[in-house]
Structure 1
Amino acid sequence: MIIYNLSFLIGLLIFSLFSAVVLEMMVLPSIIYIAKKKNLYDLPNARKSHEQPIPRLAGVSFFPIMLFVFSVSILILVKFQADDSLASLEPALRKMFGLIIGNTLLLGVGFKDDLVGSRYRHKMIVQFLAATLLVSGGLYINNFNGLFGIWEISDWIGMLFTIFLIVFITNAINFIDGADGLASGISGVALISFGILFFLRGMFFYSLICIILVGILIPFFYYNVFNTSRKVFMGDTGSLTLGFLLAYLGIRFAMADLGHNYSLFDSPVLIALSALFVPVFDALRVMLERVFVGKSMFLPDRRHIHHKLLDLGFSHRKVMVSLVVCAGLLVFMNVMLLHLLNINIMFVIDILLWLGFVQILNIMLAMKNKALN
C-alpha cells in the first residue's frame, strides 16, 4: 500500500478545489448566454416558486468539469508521488467506470429533458440502467451495521437493494431542487461531510471527487442565489447527475471495507444516510403521503418541505439556510452520538426529529390558512 505525503495530498485537494471553481466560473457565463439566446428557460407555473423565466442548463457543466479536474489531479498524483501509485488506485478506478458511463447516460437524458422535455418513464429506465452499471462495477451495500438488526447481506440482495437506492437518491436530489440554492447547498453539506470522512478513512480518491464537486457548486451557488441579473438553474441535467454522484459517494462510504479504516466509524451506513437525510426522507415522506391519499407517488405537488416553508412566507434564501443548517446538524449529531448510542436508537431519533419538524410546519400552515379564512 502506498503511503502518501500528507502535505502533498492536502495541497492537491486545494489545487483541485481552486481549479474546479475557476473552470466553472469560466463556463457558467457562456451557458447563461446560450440559454438566453436560445430561449432555454424554466417557465413559472402553479407548482414552481419562481415568478420569472429563468435560464437553465447550468448542470450540463458539472460532470465534464468534475471528470477533467479529477483526471488532471490523478495524473499529478501518479507523476509526483510514487511510480507504483497507479496500481494502488486501481480498485477505486475500476469502480469508477460504471460511474462515468452511468452519469453520461443521465447527462444525456437530463439534457434532453431540459431542452424539449422527457417522459418520466423514459427517465426512470435510464436511471435504472445507470444504477445497474454502477453496481456492476462492484459498488453496493454489503453490510447494514446492525440497522434493523441486519448485518452482512448476500451479494445479490445487496446489489438489488443498491440499484433501487441509487435511483431513489438520484430522484431525491431532483425533488429537493425547488428553492434557490437548496439542492446545491444540501449537496454541498453532504459533499463536505463525505470529503472529510473519506479523508479520515484514508480514501483520498473519494475525498478528491468530493472536493472537486464542492468547487463546481460554489460558482453555481453564487449565480443561483446572489446574482439576480444572471440567475441560472441547474436543471434536470444538473440535479440528476449530482444525485447520481452523491449516491455513488454515499454507497461507497457505507460499504464494509476493512482495508480503509472501516472501524473508525461504528455505523458508516447511518452516517452516509445522515449526510443525505433531508432530501431522501423528505422524498420518502412525500411519496408515502401521496399514496395514502390515493394519488400517484410520482405526481408533482407542493408537499415537499421547501414548499411548506415557502407557503409560510419564508423567502428562498431563508428556506435554503434553514434546511442546509438542518442537514449539517443531522450529520454532526450522528457522527458525535453514534459512538454512544445504538444505531437503531439514533435512526429513530433522526426520524422523530424530522417528523416533528414537518408536523410543526403543518400546524403553522393550518393556523395561517385558518386566519386567512
Structure 2
Amino acid sequence: MSFIDTAFSNLYFLGVLSATIAVVLSRKIFPAIIYLSNTKNLMDVPGERSMHTHKTATLGGVGVFITFSLTLILFGLIVKLTVTDFAQLISLLFGIIILLFLGIKDDLLVLSAQKKLVGQIIAASVVVILGEVRISSLGGLLGIGELAPIVSVIFTILTFVFIINAFNLADGIDGLAGSIAILSSTIFGIYFLVNSNYLMALVSFILIGSLISFLYFNLSKDHKIFMGDSVQCL
C-alpha cells in the first residue's frame, strides 16, 4: 500500500485535511458572495431591533452550503463510500438543498411560517426516511429505551425541525450561530472519529472548516456577512 493510500485510509488525517480544504475553498467563495450581495442589493436593512447599523450582505448560508457540498462530494469520491453511506450522502445533500432554497426565497420574498414549516418537515423526512438517519433509542433517558420504528421516525423529524428553527433564531447575534455549529460539529466529529464513522466524521469536519471562514467574515467590520435564513440548511 502506497503512502497516499495509507494516509487516506486514516480517518484522523482525512478529518484534518477535509476541514483545511473547506477553509481554503470558503476563503475564495465568501468574498464572491459578499460582492454579489452588494452588487445585487441582497442586503439586510437594519431595523429598530437590529444590532447592526449598516446594510449587510445576507447570503452567508449560501457560501457555507457551496463550500460544504463541494468538499463533501470530493471526499466522498476519495473515500469510496459504501452503498449505505452513499445513500445517506445523497439524501443529506437533497434535504440541505430543499432548506437552502427555502432560506433564499425567505430572504428575498419572505415566506409564511406555515410554508417554511412544511418545507422543513419535507427536508427532514428526506434525510430520516431515505437516508435512514434517525434516533432509534433514548438510551434510558426518562426511562425510555428503544423506540418503535414509526415513533423513531416522527421523533427524529421533529428534532430536526426544532434544531433548524433554533439555528434560525440564533443568527441574530454576530458569531452565535456559527460558534454553536462549530462546537456541536467538533463534539460530533470526535465521536464519529472514535467510532470510525467515515461519512459522518467528514460531514462534521467539513462543516467546521466551512464555518471557520464564515465566522471570519461574520465578525469582520469591513466585509461582514450574515447567514440569513439559509442558515437553516446547516
Q: Tell me if TM exceeds 0.5.
A: yes
Alignment counterpart, residue 166 of structure 1, candidates 136, 160, 174: 160
Alignment counterpart, residue 36 of structure 2, candidates 34, 40, 59: 34
Give me the whole-angstrom Cα distance separating, in 2, the residues matched to 1:141 and 1:16: 27
- Secondary structure in 2 aligned to 1:13? helix
CA RMSD of aligned residues (A): 1.6
* Residue 148 of structure 2: aligned partner: 154
Matches within 5 A, 1:57-206: 57-78=59-80, 86=81, 89-137=82-130, 138-206=132-200
The answer on whether the counterparts of 2:11 and 2:193 sit within 8 Å (CA) in structure 1 is no
- Shift, 1:8, TM fit: 3.2
- Shift, 1:58, TM fit: 1.5
- Shift, 1:191, TM fit: 0.5
- Secondary structure in 2 aligned to 1:70? helix
Matches within 5 A, 1:216-235: 216-225=210-219, 227-235=220-228
Q: Which runs of 4+ in 1 moved over 3 A?
A: 4-8
Note the alpha carbon deviations across 1:305-333, whole angstroms, 9 max, x for none.
xxxxxxxxxxxxxxxxxxxxxxxxxxxxx
* Residue 240 of structure 1: aligned partner: 232
Amino acid in the other structure paired with 1:236: D
Give me the whole-angstrom Cα distance separating, in 2, the residues matched to 1:11 and 1:198: 14
- Secondary structure in 1 aligned to 2:156? helix
Note the alpha carbon deviations across 1:246-276, whole angstroms, 9 max, x for none.
xxxxxxxxxxxxxxxxxxxxxxxxxxxxxxx
Change (3 A) 1:77 1:97: closer
- Shift, 1:105, TM fit: 0.8
- Shift, 1:159, TM fit: 0.7
- Shift, 1:215, TM fit: 0.6
Alignment counterpart, residue 49 of structure 2, candidates 40, 47, 50: 47
Give me the whole-angstrom Cα distance separating, in 2, the residues matched to 1:64 and 1:55: 16
- Secondary structure in 2 aligned to 1:229? coil
Change (3 A) 1:77 1:99: closer
The answer on whether the counterparts of 2:11 and 2:196 sit within 8 Å (CA) in structure 1 is no
- Secondary structure in 2 aligned to 1:98? helix
- Shift, 1:55, TM fit: 1.1
- Shift, 1:5, TM fit: 5.2
- Secondary structure in 1 aligned to 2:24? helix
- Shift, 1:228, TM fit: 0.4
The answer on whether the counterparts of 2:95 and 2:123 sit within 8 Å (CA) in structure 1 is yes
Give me the whole-angstrom Cα distance separating, in 2, the residues matched to 1:36 and 1:105: 25
Q: Identity across aligned pairs (percent)?
A: 36
Amino acid in the other structure paired with 2:29: V
Give me the whole-angstrom Cα distance separating, in 2, the residues matched to 1:67 and 1:41: 24
Note the alpha carbon deviations across 1:70-121, whole angstroms, 9 max, x for none.
121132223xxxxxxx4xx222222233212111111111111112222221
- Secondary structure in 1 aligned to 2:138? coil
Gaps of 5+ in 2: none
Matches within 5 A, 1:202-351: 202-225=196-219, 227-237=220-230, 239-242=231-234
Name which structure has the greater RCO, CA cutoff 8 Å, separation 6+. Answer: 2
* Residue 14 of structure 1: aligned partner: 16
Amino acid in the other structure paired with 2:122: L
Q: Alignment length, in residue pairs? A: 228
Give me the whole-angstrom Cα distance separating, in 2, the residues matched to 1:154 and 1:73: 34
Note the alpha carbon deviations across 1:186-227, whole angstroms, 9 max, x for none.
1100011110111011112211111111111111101111x2
Give me the whole-angstrom Cα distance separating, in 2, the residues matched to 1:11 and 1:204: 11
The answer on whether the counterparts of 2:12 and 2:193 sit within 8 Å (CA) in structure 1 is no
Give me the whole-angstrom Cα distance separating, in 2, the residues matched to 1:129 and 1:73: 27
The answer on whether the counterparts of 2:26 and 2:67 sit within 8 Å (CA) in structure 1 is yes
